Amino acid sequence: MQHEPSGATDAEIASHTSTARARLELFVVGLGALVVSLAQSLLIPVLGELPGDLHTSASTVSWLLTSTLLVGAVSVPIMGRLGDMFGKRLLLLVAVGSLVAGSLLTAVTSNVALLIAGRAIQGVSAAAIPLGISLLAGLLPRERVGSAVALISAMLGVGGALGLPLAGFVAEHADFHALFWITAGVGVVAFVGILTIVPESPNRSGGHVDVVGAVLLGAGLVALLLPLSESSSWGWGSAKVWGLLATSAVLLVAFGWSQTRIREPLVDLKAVRRKPIVLANLASILFGFALFASFIGTAAYVEAPEQTGYGFASSLLVGGLVMLPSGLMMLVFAPVAARLISRRGAPQTLAIGAAIVALGFLSRITVHDHLWQIIVGSTIIGVGTGIGYAALPSIINANTPVHELAAANGLNSLFRSLGSSLASAIGGSLLAGKVIMLGDFALPSLGAYQELFALCGVAAVLAAVVALGIPHQRVPLVE
């Protein structure tokens, strides 16, 4: 038996969701997704200045990113499952509220320990995007779900692209604390909007929290992502790196075993093993890798001195603005992706997006003499990423029981984060392995960047191949 994506009929939904109200619901949920994505990338352009501002080491400052990554990785699948059980709107409010609380803490202190704690609290908000996708899929009429999901998913890239120029502007005109006042303010607006405008999803499964599974999964993810994020400072020959990776493997195997032994598991392994879900999650890793590598390989690239043979000696602001068209194209192409999904199916749309990303990286490798060429190349990557990111949750939603949507989208988001972590670790090693010396400074060579872009292009091609292997499913499954 097949049900509508929302678990209710379109007539039932239309009775309480007018066109104007549907737009308001999409706006406030989208605003929450945007500010969460914005917060995740906001500090990247100013990291180099923070050790001096905070009177601490660069390795300590790196925990302002690492703490957010680790907490986000752990909270996304757990909050997704809790959303299915107790209400997606409720957990979305928790996620956005965590962003506000963490932003306020970081906005009022220069104590490094408190800053790291605030960033860790912000990490909980990473669950907002998969929760928002799942909530709207259960609330909006069927004809609006595709475009809404595409828009919310695109916020993953849009926020990151907007965060870079915003951080560059603030770095040149104000103290870095202003960044957190901005995310706190926008977060409050999103929180109040969701609280007052968006109703709770009708699909809740109830049940008990799998505490053992949550602990095992959380510990396993921390043991996996911590060495990946710290590999550049610890070194791949470090016993800590391989010890933690081995520990992660043991914990995740134990987690998988535990999920087969209880009635209400944290993760439904039967659902995760479905071919479309497996392939969609694999494609998410590949897309996450390519997008994050584009971020780390663009701003620093154009800010490098002209003596490197590739840089343009751009300011922090210009380095961020180079990524802005990429983010805007993700937003513009969200409705285009929705129409493609409707006409050609989500798997083919995902393959199209991946192919465009590959073309963008080919451009970055071969055409780089002028700044506008860098902008064009990164914009092509943004177009493809926007299309691909719109297709991924559509595949998940079409192949997942309605009462498991938040958990499934949370896991898919986790796999994208894993891809970003791999890009950070592998990309960092590549760029550090081939350098040129300018006085006392070692900077990545052009060849190092080209190798990174080639690796991203290969990842995009593999994502396209994976996408073409996904069977097309028009409506979500029910049990």
- The DSSP line for 307-321 is GGSS-----HHHHHH
Please report, for residues 50, 134, 140, 176, the alpha-carbon distance to residue 18 in angstroms, rounded to integers and kept in the order given. Answer: 48, 19, 9, 42
- pLDDT tens figures, 87-118: 999 999 999 999 999 999 999 999 999 999 99
Q: How far from the centroid of its chain's Cα atoms is residue 415's Cα?
A: 9
For 197-241, write each residue's pLDDT tens digit.
999 887 766 677 788 888 998 899 889 888 887 877 788 888 998
What pLDDT is attached to residue 475? Answer: 44
Distance CA 7, CA 401 (A): 9
For residue 23, the one-letter residue type is R
As a whole number, mean pLDDT of residues 49-72 equals 84
In the predicted model, is pLDDT for residue 248 greater than 60? yes
Q: Which is higher by pLDDT, 192 or 4? A: 192
Token representation of residue 341: 């999904």
The pLDDT, as a whole number, for residue 4 is: 39
CA end-to-end span of the chain, whole Å? Answer: 9
Greatest CA separation for the chain: 70
Structure-block tokens of residue 276: 């479309």
- Rounded CA separation 98/66 (Å): 17
- Rounded distance, CA 420 to CA 229, Å? 10
Contact (Cβ atoms closer than 8 angstroms) between residue 376 and residue 396: no
Specify the pLDDT at position 423: 80
Instruction: Output the pLDDT for position 206.
Output: 67
Q: Calculate Rg over the CA atoms of the chain.
A: 21
SS3 442: strand
Determine the pLDDT at residue 476: 44
Q: Residue 408's closest CA among 278, 287, 254, 286? A: 278
Q: How far apart are the C-alpha atoms of 286 and 280, rounded to whole Å? A: 10
Look at residue 14 in the predicted model and tell me its pLDDT: 43
Other C-beta atoms within 10 Å of 413: how many? 30
Ranges 154-168, 296-310, 322-336: which has the least confidence: 154-168
Quick one: CA dihedral 44, 48, 49, 51, positive or negative?
positive
Q: Can you give the pLDDT at residue 192?
A: 97
Task: Kindly state the tokens that stand for 156.
Answer: 């993953």
Looking at residue 243, what is its pLDDT? 94
- pLDDT of the residue at 142: 79
- Number of neighbouring beta carbons within 10 Å of residue 366: 11
Res 160 pLDDT > 80: no
The pLDDT score that the predictor gives to residue 360 is: 94
Angstrom distance (rounded) from CA 75 to CA 72: 5
Question: Which residues on adjacent β-strands are paired with residue 444?
Answer: 435
pLDDT greater than 80 at residue 32:
yes
Q: Average pLDDT of 177-204?
A: 91
What's the mean pLDDT in 294-298?
A: 76
Tell me what the pLDDT averaged over the chain comes to.
85
Contact 133, 13 (CB under 8 A): no
Strands 435-438 and 441-444: antiparallel
Report yes or no: 47 and 303 within 8 Å, Cβ to Cβ.
no
What is the chain's length?
Answer: 479
> Where is 435: in which H helix or E strand?
strand 435-438
pLDDT score at 43: 81
Give the C-alpha separation, 446 to 458, whole Å: 18
Question: How far apart, in whole angstroms, are the C-alpha atoms of residue 326 and residue 48?
Answer: 24
Which of the pair, 420 or 108, is modelled with greater confidence? 108
Q: Among 169-173, 309-313, 434-438, which range has the highest average pLDDT?
A: 309-313
The whole-number pLDDT of residue 54 equals 86
Task: Please tell me the number of Cα atoms within 13 Å of 262 on its side-chain side.
Answer: 18
Digit-coded pLDDT (tens) for 451-470? 989 999 999 999 999 999 99
Contact present, 361 and 452 (Cβ < 8 Å): no
Q: How high is the pLDDT of residue 351?
A: 95
pLDDT value of position 266: 79
pLDDT average, residue stretch 381-396: 90
Percent of the chain with pLDDT over 70: 94
Q: Which of 22, 69, 13, 20 is nearest to 41 (CA)?
A: 69
Taking the CA of residue 189 as centre, how many other CA atoms within 13 Å lie in the half-sphere pointing to its CB?
A: 14
